[in-house]
Amino acid sequence: MAKKKMNFATKVIHVGGHPDKETGAIMPPIYQTTTFVQESPGKHKGYEYSRSHNPTRTRLEECLASLEEAKYALVAASGLGIISLILHSLPKGSTILCGDDVYGGTYRILTTVFNDIHDIHFINTTDPKEVEQALKSLKPKLLWLETPTNPMLKITDIKKVTALAKKYKALSVVDNTFMSSYFQKPLTLGADIVMHSMTKYLNGHSDVVGGCMMTNNKTIHQKCWTLQNSMGPSQSPFDSWLVLRGLKTLALRMEAHQKNALRVARFLESHPKVEKVIYPGLKSHPDYRLAKKQMSGFGGMITILLKGDLKKSKKFLEKVKLFALAESLGGVESLIEHPAIMTHHSIPKVVREEIGILDNLVRLSVGVEDCDDLIDDLDNALKVI
Ligand SMILES: *Cc1c(COP(=O)(O)O)cnc(C)c1O
C-alpha cells in the first residue's frame, strides 16, 4: 500500500488493515498463538514465538509508525513498559534530564527504580534557558519531555528544546499521550523518540492497557526490541487487536473530544464557582500561541481550580454523575479526578504543591458524549460549592 500518500484519517483505517491473505477477511485476524510452525529448523515466515513477534502486533506497529511518520514502532504491554525499555537502553550511570511536571508513574519509576541505575535530574522543560543550562552543565544522555504536561497542561517548545538536546548530544523523548498522534507529531519537530500510553487516546475505549514508541533511529529501535524480547513486557495479540480497532476512529474521536472540551472550558471559565481554567485552547492559557503553533488541536484534557477547599472539591467530585470519578483519561466516556489524592499521590506533597497540584485542583478528561449533557452535569455538581 502507498502509505506515504495517505492522509491521517485514511491511515488509521487502512495501514496494517490489509485483508487477510488466506481468507479475504476484511478485519485482521487475532493471531492468538504462542508459537509458529517451522518448515525446517530456523526456516519460518518471520514469526517464531509471540513474545518476540506476533502478526497482530506487527499490524498495529505498522499503523502506529505511519501515524507518527516514523520508520519503526514498538508496542509493549503498558506505557510504563515502554518507558522501562527506553530507560534500560541507556548505558548504566547515564544522566537523564526529565520535565518536572510529568505523569505520576513516570516520576515514580525514575525516583524509585531507575534512580539506582541512572543519575536523574528534574528541570522545567518549558524554559529553554533552563534546559540549555542543564544540558551544558550535566551532559545528559537523554532529555525526557511531556507536553502538554499532566495535569498542569504546560507546553514545552518541542522544536526549540529538541534542537538544544541535539546540540549537546542528548537523545530526546516526547511523551505524546495527551495529544495523541492526531494533534501532535514530535518526530517531525525534531524529537528522536515519541512514546504513548496507548491506554489513553490511541485505544480510546478504556478497555486496554498498552504502550508504544516510534522512532526513525534503527539502533534505538533494535535495542528496545531486544530488551522487550529479553525482559518480556510484550502485548497480547488480543490487546493489540483491540487497539488496532480503536485506532480506526482516532481522527473522529479527537475532533469530538476537542470540540466538547473547548465548550466545557468556556463554560467553566465563565462560572462563578470556578477560580481558574487551564486549557491550551483558551486564549487565557499562557502558552496559547505556542500550543497553536506546534499542535494541530488542543485535545480533550482540562484542569480547573475550584473556589473552595478540599472538602468542597470532594463534594463536587461525589456529585457529578456523567463524569465518572476515576483515574486514567482519553476514553470516549468523560472522566474526572483529583490529582493530589489520585493520579499524582506518589509525588511528595511539597513537590506537588510547588508544581501547583493543590487540593482544589481537578482534572477532566472530556469524552464524546452530547456536550449539553456534560455541561448540565458540571453545572449541577458545582451548586454544592
Ligand atoms: C497513563 C500515562 C502513562 C503510563 O502509561 P500506562 O499505560 O498506564 O502504563 C505515561 N504517560 C502519560 C502521560 C500517561 O497519561
Domain edges within the chain: 8-18+30-247, 250-382
Cell numbers at residue 362, please? Answer: 481537578
Indicate whether residue 363 lines ligand 1 (CB < 6 A).
no
Cα–chain center distance at 289: 22
| Mutation probe of ligand 1 site: the residue of 82, 102, 199, 363 with most atoms within 8 A of C-beta | 199
- The residues that bridge with 123 in the sheet, in sequence order, are 99
Between the CA of 26 and the centroid of ligand 1 the distance, in Å, is 31
Q: Are 135 and 108 in contact (CB under 8 A)?
A: no
* Contacts of the segment 131-138: beta carbons below 8 A, 24+ positions apart: 131/97, 131/161, 131/164, 131/165, 132/164, 132/168, 134/97, 135/97, 135/164, 135/165, 135/167, 135/168, 135/170, 136/168, 138/95, 138/97
Q: How far is CA 373 from CA 248, 252, 338, 364, 376, in A?
A: 26, 20, 22, 15, 5
User: Does 250-382 match 8-18+30-247 at the fold level?
Assistant: no
Is the CB of 231 inside a 6 Å radius of any atom of ligand 1?
A: no
SS3 24: coil
Nearest protein CA to atom 7 of ligand 1, as residue:
79
Q: Please state the atom number of ligand 1 nearest to the C-alpha of residue 102.
A: 13
User: Residue 84: CB within 6 Å of ligand 1?
Assistant: no
Burial classification of residue 41, based on how many CB atoms lie within 10 Å of its CB (0-12 exposed, 13-18 middle, 19 or more buried): exposed
Cell of 169: 548530544
Atom 12 of ligand 1: nearest residue by CA position: 103
d(CA 220, CA 89): 8
SS3 362: strand
Instruction: State if residue 197 touches ligand 1 by the CB under 6 angstroms criterion.
Output: yes
Cβ of 80 below 6 Å from ligand 1: yes
Let me know if 46 is exposed, middle or buried by CB neighbors in 10 A (0-12, 13-18, 19+). exposed
The whole-number pLDDT of residue 346 equals 82
**Ligand 1 near 301 CB (within 6 A):** no
108 given a catalytic annotation? no
103 lines ligand 1 (CB under 6 A): yes
CATH of 250-382, picked from 3.90.1150.10, 3.40.50.970, 3.40.190.10, 1.10.287.180, is: 3.90.1150.10
Identity at 119, one-letter amino acid code: D
- pLDDT, residue 141, reads 98
Whether the Cβ atoms of residue 340 and residue 361 lie closer than 8 Å to each other: yes
Given the CA of residue 105, which atom of ligand 1 is nearest to it?
A: 4
Inter-CA distances, 192 with 1, 68, 168, 217, Å: 26, 12, 14, 7
CA 14 to chain centre: 23
The response to whether residue 147 sits with its C-beta less than 6 Å from ligand 1 reads: no
Q: Which atom of ligand 1 is nearest to the CA of 177?
A: 13
How confident is the model at residue 2, as a pLDDT?
A: 47
- Can you give the pLDDT at residue 4? 58
Question: Residue 328 CA: which ligand 1 atom is closest?
Answer: 1
Fold of 8-18+30-247: Aspartate Aminotransferase; domain 2 (3.40.640)
- Which residue has the least CA distance to atom 1 on ligand 1? 197
Instruction: Per-residue pLDDT tens, the chain, 385 aa: give them.
Output: 444 589 999 999 999 999 999 999 999 999 999 999 999 999 999 999 999 999 999 999 999 999 999 999 999 999 999 999 999 999 999 999 999 989 989 999 999 999 999 999 999 999 999 999 999 999 999 999 999 999 999 999 999 999 999 999 999 999 999 999 999 999 999 999 999 999 999 999 999 999 999 999 999 999 999 999 999 999 999 999 999 999 999 999 999 999 999 999 999 999 999 999 999 999 999 999 999 999 999 999 999 999 999 999 999 999 999 999 999 999 999 999 999 999 888 888 998 999 999 999 999 999 999 999 999 999 999 999 8
**Using CA positions, which residue lies closest to atom 6 of ligand 1?**
79
Which residue among 100, 101, 157, 175 is the active-site one?
Answer: 175
Active site residue 49: no
| Catalytic pick among 51, 166, 263, 292 | 51
In our burial notation (b when 16+ CB lie closer than 10 A, e otherwise), range 228-249 reads beeeebbbbbebbbbbbbbbbb
> Is 200 tagged catalytic?
yes
Q: In angstroms, what is the span from residue 257 Cα to ligand 1's centroid?
A: 19
For residue 201, indicate whether it is catalytic: no
Whether residue 201 has its Cβ less than 6 Å from ligand 1 = no
Residue burial 278-288, b: 16+ Cβ < 10 Å; e: rest:
bbbbbeebebb
Instruction: Compute the distance between CA of residue 250 and CA of residue 245 in angstroms, rounded to an integer.
Output: 10
Asked if residue 373 lies in contact with residue 264, where contact means CB atoms within 8 angstroms, the answer is no
103 Cβ contact partners less than 8 Å away, ≥ 6 residues apart? 146, 150, 175, 177, 197, 343
Is 85 touching ligand 1 by the criterion CB < 6 Å?
Answer: no
